[in-house]
Amino acid sequence: MWLPLLGLLIGFLVGLQFSFTIPAEYARYTAVGILAGLDAVFGAMRAELNGSYENRVFLTGLGFNSLLAVALVFVGDRLGVDLFIAAVVAFGVRLFNNLAIIRRHFL
């Protein structure tokens, strides 16, 4: 369970050490991709605590959710509609729900 958190911490520290800028036109894609990744990691942590973690479910969920979210942003950009807000809200709700379940497990 601590391995995903360790990977997240290492990735965060490496990101702070290197200066890498993302062009403004890709900012929404990046934000939605990061949210999809965080959702998958915290969902995996919750599943591990419940004793129902499966690596195949984690990997397919990470890939499918990321692709679906980026496709939603792309379609929204082409239509001139801010569809990325739907992905941000959906992943935000899922993140808070997973974190609440993890918190309750430790309390």
Instruction: Say which amino acid occupies 61.
Output: G
Higher pLDDT, 106 or 1: 106
Alpha carbon distance 17, 65 (integer Å): 28
CB burial string 25-37: b at 16+ within 10 A, e below: eeebbebbbebbb
Average pLDDT over residues 73-93: 90
Residue pLDDT, tens place only, 31-69: 999 899 899 989 998 999 999 989 999 999 899 989 999
Give the pLDDT of residue 7. Answer: 83
Alpha carbon distance 86, 96 (integer Å): 16
Give the pLDDT of residue 83. Answer: 86
Give the pLDDT of residue 24. Answer: 87
The angle subtended at Cα 62 by Cα 82 and Cα 65, nearest 5°, is 30
Give the pLDDT of residue 22. Answer: 82
Among 4-8, 11-15, 84-88, 92-96, the range of highest mean pLDDT: 92-96
Q: Is 93 exposed, middle or buried (0-12, 13-18, 19+ CB in 10 A)?
A: exposed
Domain residue spans of the chain:
22-106
Locus of tokens 């929404």: 28
| Helices (H), ranges, 18-54 | 27-50
Higher pLDDT, 23 or 4: 23
